Amino acid sequence: MIDKTCLKAEIAGIKLKNPVMTASGTFGYGQEYAPFVDLNRLGAIILKGITLKPKRGNPPPRVIETPSGMLNAIGLQNVGVEVLIKEKLPYFKKFNTPVIINISGDTIEEYLELTRRLGEVSKEMGVAGLEVNISCPNVKKGGMAWGTDAKATYEIVSSIRKVTALPLIVKLTPNVTDIKIIAQAAEEAGADALSLINTLMGMVVDIDSRRPKLANVSGGLSGPAVKPVALWMVWQVFQTVNIPIIGIGGMIKVEDALEFIIAGARAIEIGTANFVNPRVTIEIIEGIEKYLIENNIKDITKLVGSMKI
């Protein structure tokens, strides 16, 4: 048995100590989890989705538990890019973990302006890369509309590509007939990496009031319930594109993370599980290391996409 292994990963040119990142919207602005997690140990931190202007978000109730999952309809409540730059990013100066900004907009112009603004400050504020959210199911305009159509995906990604040299991760929605086509469009448009999946559209009804349980009617399903769907999509996309894939969806224990890596994910994002176990990211990092050592795998890259069928 070997006694050391290499967990390093490189995604879109971003160098990661290990492949474990935090999924946007589930780790706040990072600081909230600092009491539980040594942020220096994470592969990367992806912050709550940001927009050009602050966003109020949807009315409550915004979250509801479902069997082995949850629906959320936060509606992208966020402080806006300027407050992010002024008040949230400085916090990360003391850490050496890459910070990736998840961006959203109602229009292409908003995405572009946001990208430019983050580009301007990227060196100074330590923005390692952008994750372009074209898959948010909880906002009226924009959001998922981009991610459900290959042409729209190509258009927005290539537009963003033109205005930035920052590493560009495009986050895909599972609410599509064929995610391979969308993935290809994003790759052709210049994405450096793809992350998937965002949430599945869902609803829960209150049988007493006969109303939806979420004020927004629908919400996005996440958590263990969606893991099989996410894994299947990662595997599909892995066979289709040449850029790295970040797996997301329902991981709550190390075995789940390993499944994604074996199915082709070069890195992974942990979302809902943070709510259940705030130390889950660290436990998964340690678990991956243990698995690699026990299986005599000297470098995690050997495991990526190693699934035999």
Ligand X SMILES: Cc1cc2nc3c(=O)[nH]c(=O)nc-3n(C[C@H](O)[C@H](O)[C@H](O)COP(=O)(O)O)c2cc1C
* Binding-site ranges for other proteins (CB under 8 A): 25-28, 32-33, 35-36, 48, 56-57, 59-65, 67-70, 72, 74, 77, 223-224, 252, 272, 274-279
Identified binder of a copy of itself from the candidate list 23, 44, 46, 176, rule CB under 8 A: 176
Query: For residue 215, what are its two tokens?
Result: 């004020």
- Which is nearer to ligand X, 14 or 248 (by Cβ)? 248
272 binds ligand X (CB under 6 A): yes
Helix (H, G, I), strand (E, B) or coil at 92: helix
Identified binder of a copy of itself from the candidate list 59, 60, 90, 228, rule CB under 8 A: 228
Active site residues: 136
Q: By 3-state DSSP, what share of the chain in percent is helix, strand and coil, each rounded to 5?
A: 35, 20, 40
Identified binder of ligand X from the candidate list 249, 258, 291, 292, rule CB under 6 A: 249
Q: Taking Cα atoms as reference points, which of 171, 153, 167 lies closest to residue 245?
A: 171
1 binds a copy of itself (CB under 8 A): no
Q: 102 is in the binding site of which of ligand X, a copy of itself, other proteins, none (Cβ under 5 to 8 A by kind)?
A: ligand X
Identified binder of ligand X from the candidate list 21, 37, 74, 237, rule CB under 6 A: 74
271 binds ligand X (CB under 6 A): yes
Using CB under 8 A, list all residues that contact a copy of itself. Answer: 66-69, 71, 148-149, 175-178, 200-205, 207, 210-212, 217-219, 221, 223-229, 231-232, 235, 250, 255, 258-259, 262-263, 291, 306-309
